[in-house]
């Protein structure tokens, strides 16, 4: 699950997850939700937001979500 499968491409991905620089796994959805798993430290963070309200054109949620993934 945590083994990178796309080494050398713009984003390291495993099956269903983005593998972050610190080895944590990350997955996000269109509405702004995100999940970050650190298997080594046995920690997880969940981000629950609503990008679609009032407008999906608002870029503040994707920007914040990018910061969250690098936590």
Q: Is residue 8 part of a domain?
A: no
Q: Is residue 13 part of a domain?
A: no
CA distances, 51 to each of 10, 55, 71 (Å): 25, 7, 20
pLDDT at 53: 78
Residue 60 domain boundaries: 20-69
Instruction: Give the helix/strand (H/E) hosting 44.
Output: strand 43-47
Residue 69, classed as helix, strand or coil, is helix
Q: Is residue 5 part of a domain?
A: no
Q: Is residue 1 part of a domain?
A: no
Q: What is the pTM of this model?
A: 0.79
| Average pLDDT score, the chain | 88
pLDDT tens digits, 14-48 = 988 999 989 999 999 888 889 999 999 999 999 99
Split into its structural domains, the chain has a count of 1
pLDDT at 58: 78
pLDDT at 52: 79
């Amino acid at each position: 699950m945590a083994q990178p499968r796309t080494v050398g491409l713009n984003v390291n991905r495993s099956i269903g997850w983005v593998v972050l620089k610190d080895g944590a796994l990350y997955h996000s959805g269109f509405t702004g939700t995100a999940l970050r798993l650190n298997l080594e430290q046995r920690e997880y963070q969940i981000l629950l937001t609503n990008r679609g309200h009032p407008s999906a054109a608002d870029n503040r949620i994707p920007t914040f979500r990018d910061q969250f993934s690098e936590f």
